[in-house]
A and B are shown apart, each in its own frame.
Chain A
Amino acid sequence: MKINKKKIWVSLMFFIMIISFTTGVKNISAHDPRYIDLKYYEDDQVLSVYIVHGISNSSRHYINKVKIEFCQLPDSLIEEFTSDPSREIVGEGEIERFGTIKIKEEDVFDVIDLNEMNKTLKLEVNYTSQAEDLIIHYNYTIECPEWTLVVVTAYCNMNGSFTQTLISGHPWYDPEHHIIEAVVPTLVCSVIVMIPLVIRRTIARKRQKGVKH
């Protein structure tokens, strides 16, 4: 069969043009800060903030503002957390990490909407460059009374922001996982792999018996 090279090239170019004009890429900027990690050291009254913001040129692209706001949690919610015995954390290490009460992010934000809450601006710091090109660390001396919902927002000078929250005196609880979680899926995976082999063995044995008869 004779191949028409010209036709192939025309088709290829047409195809490239079609995909060039029909497929959409909305945004691949990736400027906004990606994550914020918070910890409040009550004894020193220091709020430690790690911000993940990967950049290539720290004088042109950087976190230009960090805003710290306070919100007051509803009394009913605090009451619910403090009166529920199932929320009590035991063990020295656990208390050191998560405080005395188990509070997960969804426990709070399933009940309240952060955007609708009244926020009090406590601190706003502006920057003109970024010290590190990936993870920046800032310490802010600030007084946070217990049960204050601290809202920290970092802004990129080019585009975007990221917000993280923390309840003063009660870090977010991270549930513990156990190896037991792997047992059932391992068995399921083994069964899935073995089923075709067992079927194969049954068929082969039946055939062998048939041949003998």
Chain B
Amino acid sequence: MTVNDTNIVKEITEEKSVSPNESIESPMETQVLKEEKRYNFDKIHISLIILLSCQVLFLLTFSEPLSFIWGGDPLFNIYDDAIMGRSARLVLIYHSIATPFVAETTFWCLEYFEVREKYIPSMKVTIVSGSFVSGICGLIFAYTRIRVFHELFIFGLFLVFFGGVLFIVASWPVPNKFPDPEKATEGALFYGLDLENYSMVLLAFCVLVSVAYGALAGMEVFTNSIWGLERLNQDAFLAEEVVKIIHHDYPEEFIVSHLHIQLSLTAAMITMIGYKISKIKGKVYQIMLFLCPIGILCISYGAWVLNHYLIWVGAGILILCTIALSVNGLIEISKDYLGEKYESASFGTKLKGMLGDPVLFNLYWIYLYAQIVVTICGIIVGLQTREIYRLHEWFDVEYDFNVGHWHVLAVLLAELLILIIINHFHREKSKLKTISAWLLGIGGTWAFTAANAYMMRSPFDVVEDGLHPTMIWTFVGVWIMILGFVLGIFIVFRSYIKKRKLMKENSD
């Protein structure tokens, strides 16, 4: 018996030991579910959640929605521009938090998609250690400028990049051989080729190319070693600061592209995880799997060459896939909730049934709402850029939109991921789970709506003192969302500890 087999047995024993009243699944279903799972990533998920939570706790000390409560100033006086400029510091903060987040998303992909098992230990070592090294050292360097932490930060990023290469090798589909065609989701096979893995490989490839974009730009900016441009201002800059320069040099183009695409591709990863959660299958799924790689390549290539129209085409294709998965997912909730009564139920009852699982309902709702507050708002502003948003009078509105747009997307992805995590770790129905899901759903909807109202405000609405009202509304939404996050993380930890205890008792 291998270690994996032992894990399966442990999982089954553990599930059997849970009282039937505590679980909404029948024991038989649980067995089938757990037998299919060979690797357990729970420890990795928990460790990465701890790392991300610690980072976010630190960021909250100077985050605007929180510092607003205690008067507007950061809690700690550690922001010295003489040590490091604001832009450089922000670049490091973004990378420190984004790398573990992408790593965590990657492990959720591993949780749901087939990869060659022999590569999993190597991926665990490279991606997890890389995330921790870059996440911690990047933050330390941002406030101390002690050089060794920068080198370790870069080393961590390299490890994660290497993990990405391994991911491509591990998930490379071979028709009729890998992944096992017999286990493939209905509609995922095309003449023996697994289209899910085909999309995953293309997605991972695009992520790595986009990472290389950022790396090349960084090397040129700081060491002048790629194009030898001898730039006048050889220091860090943010994409939103240079986006209005009409003729970008290569580092500027590459940084704008890098920011555009890294987050979009992480969104695509989370969309693909959604396919599996929503249990979509059949002809519709096959069409989605044909469209999805086209969308991924269009959005990536559009960002690499900074062709916004192409980005929108890619985003549009991915919107269709996301709508399909969300609608299917909502129907599945209703079916699960109503059971045999589903077929005979009225339309209203079926709709009501969608609320049967608050976590999944809010997950699919956020998937859908994301299309309005991120993609559609982005396209509206994009289409009006030359006529409105690039006008001199709209200068700070456009700047705020450029910053806010990807902040909304980033928070939205975090929210989707925490809902996926709650759904995975805490299967039983509980009040806390319901409250957490609704706080996340309501808080997110509120915050993203108000944030977009702020980002797309008229520059002629002059607010004499204090903050714009839409900004304060955004803060309220963020506070509700934070409560949802805190409660969600608490539930996840509690479920994990409970599971560990049960496992220990069984092994004893």
Query: Contact at B147–A20, with CB atoms within 8 Å?
Result: yes
Interface flag for A27 (CB, 8 Å): yes
Give the residues from 27 to 61 in chain A that come closer than 8 angstroms, CB to CB, to chain B.
27-32, 34-35, 37-39, 48, 50, 52, 54-57, 60-61
B234 touches A158 (CB 8 A): no
**Is there a chain A Cβ closer than 8 Å to B439's Cβ?**
no
Partner of A179, one of B87, B193, B309: B309
B392 close to A105 (CB less than 8 A): no
What is the bound-complex CA distance between A192 and B296, given in angstroms? 12
Q: A28-B88, A200-B190 are in contact. Are A186 and B310 (CB under 8 A)?
A: yes
A24 contacts chain B at the CB level, 8 A cutoff: yes
Would A19 and B84 count as touching, CB distance under 8 A?
no
Which of A19, A28, A31, A182 is close to B151, meaning CB atoms less than 8 Å apart?
A19
B residues less than 8 Å from A137 (CB atoms) = 396
CA distance A129 to B87 in the complex (A): 19
Cβ contacts under 8 Å, B247 to chain A? 105-106
| B interface residues, how many (CB within 8 angstroms) | 64
Secondary structure dominating the interface of A:
mixed
Per a CB cutoff under 8 Å, which of A38, A55, A185, A203 touches B307? A185
Does the CB pair B79–A189 fall under 8 Å? no
Known A26-B222, A35-B241; contact A204-B191, beta-carbon cutoff 8 A: yes
Residues of B within 8 A of A194 (CB): 294
Check A211 for interface membership: any CB of B closer than 8 A: no
Q: How far is the CA of A105 from the CA of B246 in the complex (A)?
A: 8
What are the interface flags for B106-125 relative to A under an 8 Å C-beta threshold, 1 for contact and 0 otherwise?
00000000000000000000
Chain A residue at smallest Cβ distance from B233: A32
Chain A residues with CB under 8 Å of B244's CB are 35, 37
Interface string of B79-122 (1 = CB under 8 A from A): 11110111110100000000000000000000000000000000
Q: Hey, which chain B residues are within 8 Å of A189, CB to CB?
A: 294, 297-298, 301, 310, 314
Chain B interface SS verdict (over half): helix
Q: Are B222 and A27 in contact (CB under 8 A)?
A: yes
Q: A28-B236, A37-B395, A57-B79 are in contact. List 10 more A-B contacts (CB 8 A).
A: A16-B148, A23-B150, A34-B238, A39-B393, A52-B241, A57-B81, A174-B390, A181-B309, A185-B310, A200-B192
Residue of A nearest to B382 (CB): A177
Say yes or no: is B162 at the interface (Cβ < 8 Å to chain A). no
A57 CB contacts on chain B under 8 angstroms: 79-81
Q: Which residue of chain A has its CB nearest to the CB of B152?
A: A16
**Is A201 part of the contact surface with B, judged by Cβ < 8 Å?**
yes
| 13 A-B interface contacts by CB (under 8 A) | A19-B152, A19-B155, A20-B148, A23-B150, A28-B222, A32-B233, A61-B81, A105-B246, A135-B396, A174-B386, A197-B190, A201-B191, A204-B191
Residue of B nearest to A185 (CB): B310
Any B CB within 8 A of the CB of A193:
yes
**Contact indicator B236/A30 (Cβ below 8 Å):** yes
Interface string of B45-85 (1 = CB under 8 A from A): 00000000000000000000000000000000001111011
In the assembled complex, the Cα of A158 lies from the Cα of B293 at a distance in Å of: 48
- Answer whether residue B242 sits at the interface, using C-beta atoms and an 8 A cutoff: yes
The reply to whether B309 and A31 contact each other, CB–CB distance below 8 Å, is: no
Bound CA span A182–B302, Å:
8
How long is the Cα–Cα vector from A29 to B83 in the complex, in angstroms? 7
Contact status of A181 and B293, CB under 8 A, knowing A26-B222, A28-B222, A105-B246: no
The one of B151, B235, B314, B386 in contact with A32, judged by C-beta atoms closer than 8 angstroms, is B235
Smallest CB-CB separation from A162: which chain B residue? B233
The reply on B6 being an interface residue by CB < 8 A is no
Contact with B along A145-161 (1 / 0, CB 8 A): 00000000000001010
B198 within 8 A of A: yes
User: Contact between B242 and A35 (Cβ–Cβ < 8 Å)?
Assistant: yes
**Which residues of chain A in 1-32 are interfacial with respect to chain B, using CB atoms and an 8 Å cutoff?**
16, 19-20, 23-32
**B293 CB contacts on chain A under 8 angstroms:** 193
A-chain residues with CB within 8 Å of residue B399 when the two chains form the complex:
52, 134-135
Chain A residues contacting B236 (CB-CB under 8 Å) are: 28-30
Q: Which chain B positions have C-beta within 8 A of A34?
A: 87, 237-238, 241-242
How does the 8 Å CB contact mask read for B237-261 relative to A, with 1 for contact and 0 for none?
A: 1100110111100000000000000
Set of chain A residues within 8 Å of B148, measured between Cβ atoms? 16, 20
Task: Check if B202 sits within 8 Å of A193, measured CB to CB.
Answer: yes
A172 within 8 A of B: yes
* CB of A76 closer than 8 Å to a CB of B: no
